[in-house]
């Protein structure tokens, strides 16, 4: 019997998995990262490429991670070990574990800002976003606070609390976003923003745009580092991986698109630059809220929900290294979460201080990126893309698309008809496409 997965337990229901996995997928990636990356990459053409990446690469690849996870009931390292013991493939699982730490280290910094903004909305002092993130005491304590909450949730066992809260809070987030879409699109001048966001100019599609779109697709769906292997490992054989995975991808994509329907109309209505980068959401949305009747309350609720959406994501990021220590190193879960959380805090400090608090960290290091943006690029883009490349080859060729397809048919017999098509995607389309993208990246640097 597999001790690790026993300690980790199983989802209480199919809906429990969908909420937990959607909770992981929906986060800052949808509401903070998607709009600013879209803004930097020219708008609608990027959105189009992004949707194609989700459909052709993201969703089929999501099934590969889920199938592997449920088949072996293990963390990414353990899963690969179970299929190819003693091979170098294990390194790919290891990369996933390290990537979890890397992403969490800066992600929790930004999540800390969202917590700070709940209060900032209520206090009518006018410090700007730039001043806010450059205050070292503020950002480091908010960052520490967020890591601590994440540790406490993962420490105590997530399923009940998170499942129950996600079921209430995610629909609330959805309703709030709908309301804001209506409001933003009534602002005078918002139409130009909508056009920027939805009317593609295909001449803007370059290698860099496609890389950004693919990276964003993996990031947003929580793919490429074995998170879905880990979450899939808590599923039972009766669960329908195909429909569950589809709902997760649909919810995630819908929330991202909705976020853009708020930000871009508002942005153009207020004459701001869509390519402003990571500060976009923190500058534009508060400005809208302050113009609305009752905007303070709406703003507070918005940042509260965003914090919670971020929390269900940080939990999943902490879970992968934790599951690794628990399964493979036999560390007690309650110890493992503190080790991983403490390490994350240390790794994250330079990111927290890189937005003006410490000047040499805040200067561009490579390609115009300061420390936090560089971490996001390395872990949140390159590492996930490389990870997905090797994992798709692992599932498609090493474990074998046939075995994976058989696993996907469990709980969904009708998948048999689609299996050859899916095998083709995972064996050829995914790895070849990613390979071309990566080549292009090296040319971009080269
Ligand atoms: N998907 C989350 C978001 O969009 C971030 C995230 C959580 C993630 N877990 C992950 C990204 C695992 C990659 C891999 O905010």
Number of independent structural domains in the chain: 1
Cα angle value 270/116/318 (rounded, 5°): 115
**Beta carbons of 319 and 230 less than 8 angstroms apart:** yes
- What pLDDT score does 9 carry? 61
- Distance, CA 270 to ligand 1 centroid (Å)? 30
Q: Does residue 9 sit within a domain?
A: no
Q: Is 0.85 surpassed by the pTM of this model? A: yes
Distance separating alpha carbons of residues 244 and 232, to the nearest angstrom: 10
- Distance, CA 109 to ligand 1 centroid (Å)? 14
- What pLDDT score does 161 carry? 58
Q: Which residues contact 231 (CB under 8 A, 6 or more apart)?
A: 17, 20, 21, 24, 66, 69, 316, 319
Residue 286: alpha-carbon gap to chain centroid = 23
186-197 pLDDT, tens digit per residue, is 989 999 999 999
User: Which ligand 1 atom is at minimum distance from the Cα of 314?
Assistant: 7
Residue whose CA lies nearest to ligand 1 atom number 4:
29
- What pLDDT score does 196 carry? 97
Nearest to 224 by CA among 83, 380, 347, 82: 380
- What pLDDT score does 4 carry? 40
- What pLDDT score does 240 carry? 94
- Distance, CA 316 to ligand 1 centroid (Å)? 8
Q: Does residue 7 sit within a domain?
A: no
| Residue ranges in the chain whose pLDDT is less than 50 | 1-7
- Distance, CA 290 to ligand 1 centroid (Å)? 30
Q: The CATH number of the domain where 403 resides is what?
A: 1.10.4160
**Site to substitute for ligand 1 among 317, 375, 388, most atoms within 8 A of C-beta:** 317
- What pLDDT score does 13 carry? 73
User: Which ligand 1 atom is at minimum distance from the Cα of 309?
Assistant: 15
Residue whose CA lies nearest to ligand 1 atom number 8:
222
Q: Does residue 36 sit within a domain?
A: yes
358-381 pLDDT, tens digit per residue, is 999 999 998 889 999 999 999 999
Q: Does residue 446 sit within a domain?
A: no
- Distance, CA 187 to ligand 1 centroid (Å)? 32
- Distance, CA 291 to ligand 1 centroid (Å)? 32
Cα angle value 401/404/406 (rounded, 5°): 110
User: Which ligand 1 atom is at minimum distance from the Cα of 218?
Assistant: 13
CB-defined site of ligand 1, < 6 Å: 24-25, 27-30, 103, 219-220, 222, 225, 227, 313, 316-317, 384
Q: Does residue 27 sit within a domain?
A: yes
The two tokens of residue 234 are 């808590």
**Beta carbons of 162 and 23 less than 8 angstroms apart:** yes
Q: Does residue 424 sit within a domain?
A: yes
**Domain hosting residue 113, numbered range:** 14-441
């Amino acid at each position: 019997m597999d001790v690790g997965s026993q300690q980790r337990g199983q989802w209480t229901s199919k809906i429990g998995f969908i909420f937990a996995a959607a909770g992981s997928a929906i986060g800052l990636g949808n509401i903070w990262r998607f709009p600013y990356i879209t803004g930097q990459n020219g708008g609608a053409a990027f959105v189009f490429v992004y949707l194609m990446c989700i459909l052709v690469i993201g969703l089929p690849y999501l099934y590969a991670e889920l199938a592997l996870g449920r088949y072996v009931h293990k963390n990414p390292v353990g899963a690969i070990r179970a299929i190819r013991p003693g091979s170098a493939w294990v390194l790919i699982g290891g990369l996933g574990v390290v990537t979890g730490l890397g992403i969490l280290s800066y992600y929790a910094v930004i999540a800390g800002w969202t917590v700070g903004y709940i209060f900032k909305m209520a206090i009518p002092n006018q410090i700007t976003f730039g001043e806010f993130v450059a205050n070292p005491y503020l950002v480091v304590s908010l960052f520490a606070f967020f890591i601590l909450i994440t540790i406490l949730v993962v420490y105590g066992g997530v399923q009940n609390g998170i499942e129950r809260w996600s079921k209430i809070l995610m629909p609330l987030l959805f309703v709030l976003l709908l309301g804001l879409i209506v409001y933003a699109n009534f602002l005078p001048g918002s139409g130009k923003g909508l056009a920027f966001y939805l009317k593609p100019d295909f001449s803007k599609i370059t290698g860099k745009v496609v890389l950004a779109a693919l990276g964003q697709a993996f990031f947003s769906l929580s793919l490429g580092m074995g998170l879905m292997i880990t979450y899939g490992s808590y599923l039972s054989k009766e669960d329908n991986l195909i429909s569950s995975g589809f709902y997760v991808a649909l919810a995630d994509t819908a929330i991202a698109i909705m976020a853009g329907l708020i930000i871009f109309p508002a942005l153009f209505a207020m004459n701001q630059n869509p390519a402003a980068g990571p500060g976009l959401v923190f500058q534009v949305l508060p400005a809208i809220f302050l113009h609305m009747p009752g905007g303070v309350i709406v703003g507070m609720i918005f940042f509260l929900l965003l914090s919670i959406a971020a929390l269900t994501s940080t939990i999943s990021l902490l879970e992968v290294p934790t599951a690794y220590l628990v399964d493979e190193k036999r560390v007690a879960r309650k110890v493992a979460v503190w080790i991983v959380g403490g390490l994350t805090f240390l790794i994250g400090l330079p990111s927290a201080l890189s937005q003006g608090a410490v000047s040499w960290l805040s200067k561009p290091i490579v390609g115009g990126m300061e420390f936090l943006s560089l971490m996001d690029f390395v872990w949140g883009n390159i590492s996930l893309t490389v990870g997905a490349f090797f994992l798709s080859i692992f599932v498609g060729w090493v474990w074998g698309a046939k075995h994976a397809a058989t696993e996907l048919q469990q709980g969904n017999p009708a998948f048999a008809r689609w299996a050859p098509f899916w095998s083709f995607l995972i064996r050829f389309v995914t790895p070849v496409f990613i390979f071309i993208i990566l080549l292009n990246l090296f040319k971009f640097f080269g």
